[in-house]
A and B are shown apart, each in its own frame.
Chain A
Amino acid sequence: RKEVEQDPGPFNVPEGATVAFNCTYSNSASQSFFWYRQDCRKEPKLLMSVYSSGNEDGRFTAQLNRASQYISLLIRDSKLSDSATYLCVVNPRGFKTIFGAGTRLFVKA
């Protein structure tokens, strides 16, 4: 089993749609979690951290389920500019950060 697994997609959604991605992780001792966004041929950029109580940043909501070992990202009212690859990132205790392979999202007009 991979340490961090994501559905590669692609997810094709119309503008204005709500879309959700899940990511599972294998190390139950993992301490911190992030979602990154990566545009084509660009560097990954931090989208948001994921907190135990769940957190929201505008149209983006992140959730953590420690019991089932997954995190999720919900995007409401999708925009064309949301088209990108979304990387799930898990940081177990210590320095080692594990990046998922990413979920591709295409938002169409």
Chain B
Amino acid sequence: NAGVTQTPKFRILKIGQSMTLQCTQDMNHNYMYWYRQDPGMGLKLIYYSVGAGITDKGEVPNGYNVSRSTTEDFPLRLELAAPSQTSVYFCASSYSGTANQPQHFGDGTRLSIL
């Protein structure tokens, strides 16, 4: 009963490096989301997807890219890592975006950019 799985759980990057945060869900959910959460702060939506092949920007998309080639997977790409991207990244999914469909979260990726 995996739910939403994120990898890696921890990563340290150097400024300017690139990486992909992986997210996969086995609940056949249509909607998937990427959030970042800075220390002591709330969640901020980076990107979301309403289905395979469809993605759109959230509140803080700059410096990130996403793709959604399958229902299960929604990777987040950092192209040129900057210290401001040090954060905890959460992937979430929901069956749909309609009423009373809560989001289910992965356990996060803790990313430090040095």
B84-114 residues with Cβ-Cβ distance < 8 A to A are 88, 90, 94, 97-108, 110
Stretch at the interface among B14-22, B40-48, B60-68, B70-78: B40-48
Interface size class of B (residues with CB under 8 A): 20 to 34
A91 part of interface (Cβ distance < 8 Å):
yes
Instruction: Name the distance in Å between B27's Cβ and chain A's nearest Cβ.
Output: 13
B50 part of interface (Cβ distance < 8 Å):
yes
A45 part of interface (Cβ distance < 8 Å):
yes
Binding site for B on A (CB under 8 A): 31-32, 34, 41-46, 49, 87, 89, 91, 93-97, 99-102
Point out the residue from B31, B43, B90, B108 that lies within 8 Å of A95, measured CB to CB: B31
Binding site for A on B (CB under 8 A): 31, 33, 35, 41-43, 48, 50, 88, 90, 94, 97-108, 110
Q: Would you mind naming 25 contact pairs between A and B with Cβ atoms under 8 Å apart? A: A31-B100, A32-B100, A32-B101, A42-B107, A43-B105, A43-B106, A43-B107, A44-B43, A44-B90, A44-B105, A45-B105, A87-B42, A89-B102, A89-B103, A91-B97, A91-B100, A91-B101, A94-B97, A95-B31, A95-B97, A97-B94, A97-B97, A97-B103, A101-B42, A102-B42
Contact A101 B41 (CB under 8 A): yes
**By DSSP majority rule, is chain A's interface helix, strand, loop, or mixed?**
loop
